Amino acid sequence: MRRLRTIEFVLAAVVCVAGIVFLVLPIAAIPDEALIGAASVAAAVVWIVQGLRSRFDQQNSKREREGVVTEYERKLSALAAGAPERLREALEGLRDATLSAIQTHLGTIDPSDFERLVATVLEKLGFSNVVVTQSTRDHGIDVRASYAAGEVAPIDFCVQVKRTESVGSPDVQKLRGACTKGENPILVTSGRFTDDAVREAAQLPRVTLVSGERLAELLSGLGLGVRKESLSLHEPDLDSLPQAQQQEPASTPASVA
Q: Residue 76 — very low, low, confident or very high, per pLDDT cuts 50/70/90?
A: low
Is the pLDDT at 146 greater than 60? The verdict is yes
Q: Residue 199 — very low, low, confident or very high, per pLDDT cuts 50/70/90?
A: very high
Residue-wise pLDDT tens digits, 162-190: 999 999 999 999 999 999 989 999 999 99
pLDDT value, residue 148: 87
Q: Are 186 and 157 in contact (CB under 8 A)?
A: yes
In terms of average pLDDT, the best of 5-19, 32-46, 134-148 is 134-148
pLDDT value, residue 256: 47
Beta bridge partners, 110, equal none
pLDDT value, residue 257: 44
Q: Would you kindly state where each structural domain of the chain is located, as residue ranges?
A: 1-106, 111-221
Percent of the chain clearing pLDDT 90 (strictly above): 43
Q: Does domain 111-221 have CATH number 3.30.230.20?
A: no
pLDDT value, residue 52: 58
137 vs 78: CA distance, rounded Å: 65
pLDDT value, residue 82: 65
pLDDT value, residue 190: 96
pLDDT value, residue 208: 97
User: Regarding predicted confidence, which is higher, 8 or 218?
Assistant: 218
Please tell me the pTM assigned to this model. 0.60
